[in-house]
Structure 1
């Protein structure tokens, strides 16, 4: 019996790899297992190698595994690219159609199963993924009836005959592989707890968080890996009286979002690095007009088009310093799908309370990786609208203009919705006085700049750093952000077994940087390792700018398009001693 399984299916993009992993993982999720999935896919619609690696466990997991138990291969390239991940007791299940060849330097067992031929005999070669699921079930000694409910949900609209045929394909793959196995030992998973949990990608959690927060408008341009946020809201917002507009470009998307927020509607836009580059001028417009703006940046491999379907964390500096001029801005980074939900909801509160752009920074692994999620607590979602006037405004003086940009002690001015009586004011992208009228007065410029920058000096953000710091004096402090959290947490356990005292700080509020909290953690450690998916160590450099201790801080970087594995973090950290 095993309490954890690593399973991967691979082939050419467009031949059902994603649906194979989806059906397999949904069924196991419903049995109560914890899952973590990561898709490696090409930046084209069809063709090119793709795979889906899924980790199944009886306990919570937040990272893909180092090795592999089962590899399901629809072509030889899948074997050649992925076989080295298999441990010595691993299994390759390959489609017999391509006459699979097992590499000589692997001890893994291989079984050739005629996925395509069996599916064709049942009616269509498209069902070869179902045959593969059946073959996997045989290796795991898993009752194929666990897939019946999922198959019914996915294919039920096509008629019962289609459902039955797909279940026949699963059964055929199971029976054929059982015969091939003979008396070979199977990989039986320990029984799960049977609890019902959600299974979702980070982008869906973000979109759901936006809905819960009262967001009713989205303007966006499709881009990997952010498009699922728009796709989710396209399905949900109309039923709630909301609207999604697929704009002609990124500039239109962000300016429409600013306009909606100015009109009092909670609105969002989402993109990736190239799109954020186009949005930069408008982000500055949000800053100087003090209009709330929520943006999601799903980081991917850059620069330019770069690696659009691969993991990277290289937008950090751009999100903090990308706009010309100086504006207040809030940038934060969730590290799990659950955090993505709650943080998305909180983004709207922060944007309205501080009347500034709020950028929610995710990465491809977090946005598209699918995770088991404990039931979300919707009663935890608050709606706070800051200084937005909701009642009749008092009469104003004889100048006839509302002081929309009034200089206040906390830097936040009163805000009104257009059309409110006694609320008339100017809105312009040039420097302005308290009523919004353009002004180039030196004294006014200083007063308005100081007012705007005061806003976030006392920002209140729940859990700016996720801390797991059991040691008052640590040998090593490991720091990361976004999706590296799971790999770091696993590496911590292994380093502890090596005899090292290790603390972990995962940065959630990137800007304004929580310098005081981080300084305490850095000062109590002999060495600091910053784990990030970029080539220059952007988070490490931000830490040096804010907390010093240059001699302690070591960069552990990965920028080949792949996420960190727990073993990589463990090995690189151990090399520091």
Structure 2
């Protein structure tokens, strides 16, 4: 019996690799196992190597496994590219069609199973993925009947005959594998899961669901990897609550359309990746100057330019903080789990309206597209706060009809009253140039200073629960490990290994990047002998931001990875050990 399994399926993009992993994962999730899946795919519609690595465990997992138990290969390239991840007792299940060759420098066993031949005899070679699932079932000693419900959900609309053929493909795959394994059947049998029902979703789905729960009724966006799933989810869901998704001609239009909708009183947002955010920078400045709420989701990917559009990177950090011209108040949130992605997205819309400024929800490809088990979401935690938005005309009745509403009134907390356009006695001017309290253009030096100070005062008192996730049990630590976004899972596992090595290790995951939570982070840095900052970029952007805000340059070391792949736990463990 094993407590966790690492399983990977690979082949050419477009031949059912994603659906193979999806069917396998959903079935095991419904048994109560915790899962974490990560897809490696090419930036093209069809062709090129792709794989889906799935970790199955009886305990919560938030990172890709270091090694591999089972590799399902639909072509030789899958073996050649991935076999080194297999441990000595690993297994390769390969399609016999391409005459698979096992590399000489691996101790893993290899079995050639006629995936394509069996599937073709049943009617179509497309069902070879189901044969592969059947073969996997034999190794894990899984009852193939547990896939019946999933197969019916996916193929039921095509008729009972299609469902029956897919189940037959699974059955025959299992039987052929039994013949090849002999007495080895069930050699990687998993311990039983707890049977609890949990969600299984990618970060983008959680972001989209958070937007929906947070009261969004319009999403304006241009499709881009790895943000497009947010659009796809809301295209299906928003119409049911009277909302809509508009695909714009570009990201400039998307941002300005979201600004206009928010100005009109409708919660709206946009989502993109690094290239799209570059186009939005002038609009973000417009939202800051006009003090219009604006939420933007940035799903980071490899750059610059088109870069590595389907690969992991965390290199947009400085751009999010300093990309706009001039100085505006801005909030940048960086969730580190799928659950946080949901709750933080809800909160982003509250903060945008409370402080009347741009709020960026910063994600990365691994968090946005990595699919994982999620505990049931608590919708009782969802609340909608609209700040100083005046929605009742009676509240403006005391104003004279000819008096301009002080939309940009200088206030102690920096937040001015706001009205929905068209409200009686709420007339005011809106412009991207500097303006006075009523919105009329003004270049007076005293007015400029008053308005600038007012805007910047907003971020002095921002309330954000748990700006840093901490696992800090040691008052005096040998090492503090810091990360943001999806690095959390790999850091958590590396921390456990470092402590087994005898080191006292604390962990901090930064969830609020701007305004930076220096007061909360400083005690953790000061109580540690050394600090390691883990991030997927070449220049140590988070480490530099920490140095800017919290000092302690002599303690801080950057551990970076920028080859397009996420961190593995053993990489962080090894790099951190080398600091001592």
- Normalising by the residue count of structure 1, what TM-score does the alignment of the two structures yield? 1.00
**1:266 Cα shift?**
0.5
Instruction: Give the Cα–Cα distance (whole angstroms) in 1 for the partners of residues 91 and 473 of structure 2.
Output: 39
Q: Tell me whether 1:544 sits opposite 2:547 in the alignment.
A: yes
Match of 1:221 in 2: 222
**1:399 Cα shift?**
5.2
Of 498, 501, 521, which aligns to 1:495?
498
- Counterparts of 1:68-467 in structure 2, within 5 Å, are 68-184=68-184, 186-392=187-393, 393-397=396-400, 400-467=403-470
Q: Aligned to 1:182, what secondary structure does the other structure show?
A: helix
- Decide whether the 8 Å contact of 2:210 with 2:342 is kept in 1: yes
Instruction: Give the Cα–Cα distance (whole angstroms) in 1 for the partners of residues 136 and 432 of structure 2.
Output: 60
Q: Aligned to 1:45, what secondary structure does the other structure show?
A: coil
Deviation track 1:437-483 (CA, whole Å, cap 9, x = no partner) reads 00000000000000000001111001100011000000000000000
Deviation track 1:363-421 (CA, whole Å, cap 9, x = no partner) reads 00000000100000111001000000022213325752100000000000000000001
Instruction: Give the Cα–Cα distance (whole angstroms) in 1 for the partners of residues 539 and 509 of structure 2.
Output: 19
Q: Aligned to 2:452, what secondary structure does the other structure show?
A: helix
Deviation track 1:269-290 (CA, whole Å, cap 9, x = no partner) reads 0000000000000000000000
Q: Aligned to 1:230, what secondary structure does the other structure show?
A: helix
Q: Assess, with a 3 A threshold, how the Cα gap between structure 1 residues 398 and 113 changes in structure 2: closer, same or farther.
A: closer
Instruction: Give the Cα–Cα distance (whole angstroms) in 2 for the partners of residues 312 and 411 of structure 1.
Output: 35
Instruction: Give the Cα–Cα distance (whole angstroms) in 2 for the partners of residues 389 and 113 of structure 1.
Output: 68
Instruction: Give the Cα–Cα distance (whole angstroms) in 1 for the partners of residues 253 and 269 of structure 2.
Output: 13
Number of residues paired by the alignment?
577
Deviation track 1:417-445 (CA, whole Å, cap 9, x = no partner) reads 00001000001000000000000000000
Instruction: Give the Cα–Cα distance (whole angstroms) in 2 for the partners of residues 169 and 102 of structure 1.
Output: 25
Instruction: Give the Cα–Cα distance (whole angstroms) in 2 for the partners of residues 455 and 294 of structure 1.
Output: 16
Instruction: Give the Cα–Cα distance (whole angstroms) in 2 for the partners of residues 380 and 440 of structure 1.
Output: 45
**1:167 Cα shift?**
0.3
Instruction: Give the Cα–Cα distance (whole angstroms) in 2 for the partners of residues 511 and 377 of structure 1.
Output: 26
Instruction: Give the Cα–Cα distance (whole angstroms) in 2 for the partners of residues 459 and 5 of structure 1.
Output: 43
Instruction: Give the Cα–Cα distance (whole angstroms) in 1 for the partners of residues 374 and 30 of structure 2.
Output: 12
Q: Aligned to 2:54, what secondary structure does the other structure show?
A: strand
**1:121 Cα shift?**
0.2
Match of 1:558 in 2: 561
Match of 2:527 in 1: 524
Structure 2: any 5+ residue segments left out of the alignment?
none
**1:183 Cα shift?**
1.3
Match of 1:510 in 2: 513
**1:141 Cα shift?**
1.0
Q: Aligned to 1:183, what secondary structure does the other structure show?
A: helix
- Decide whether the 8 Å contact of 2:401 with 2:424 is kept in 1: no
Instruction: Give the Cα–Cα distance (whole angstroms) in 2 for the partners of residues 375 and 531 of structure 1.
Output: 29
Deviation track 1:139-175 (CA, whole Å, cap 9, x = no partner) reads 1111000100000000000000000000000001000
Q: Aligned to 1:295, what secondary structure does the other structure show?
A: strand
Instruction: Give the Cα–Cα distance (whole angstroms) in 1 for the partners of residues 544 and 76 of structure 2.
Output: 43
Match of 1:63 in 2: 63
Instruction: Give the Cα–Cα distance (whole angstroms) in 1 for the partners of residues 500 and 458 of structure 2.
Output: 45
Instruction: Give the Cα–Cα distance (whole angstroms) in 1 for the partners of residues 178 and 325 of structure 2.
Output: 64
Deviation track 1:185-236 (CA, whole Å, cap 9, x = no partner) reads 5210000000000000000000001111110100000000000000000000
Q: Aligned to 2:321, what secondary structure does the other structure show?
A: helix
Q: Which moved more, 1:397-406 or 1:69-78?
A: 397-406
- Decide whether the 8 Å contact of 2:401 with 2:425 is kept in 1: no
Deviation track 1:527-563 (CA, whole Å, cap 9, x = no partner) reads 0000000000000000000011000000000000000
Instruction: Give the Cα–Cα distance (whole angstroms) in 2 for the partners of residues 440 and 561 of structure 1.
Output: 47
Instruction: Give the Cα–Cα distance (whole angstroms) in 2 for the partners of residues 107 and 43 of structure 1.
Output: 33
Instruction: Give the Cα–Cα distance (whole angstroms) in 1 for the partners of residues 225 and 534 of structure 2.
Output: 24
Structure 1: any 5+ residue segments left out of the alignment?
none
Instruction: Give the Cα–Cα distance (whole angstroms) in 2 for the partners of residues 83 and 119 of structure 1.
Output: 25
Match of 2:482 in 1: 479
Instruction: Give the Cα–Cα distance (whole angstroms) in 2 for the partners of residues 255 and 398 of structure 1.
Output: 30
- Decide whether the 8 Å contact of 2:404 with 2:428 is kept in 1: yes
Match of 2:46 in 1: 46
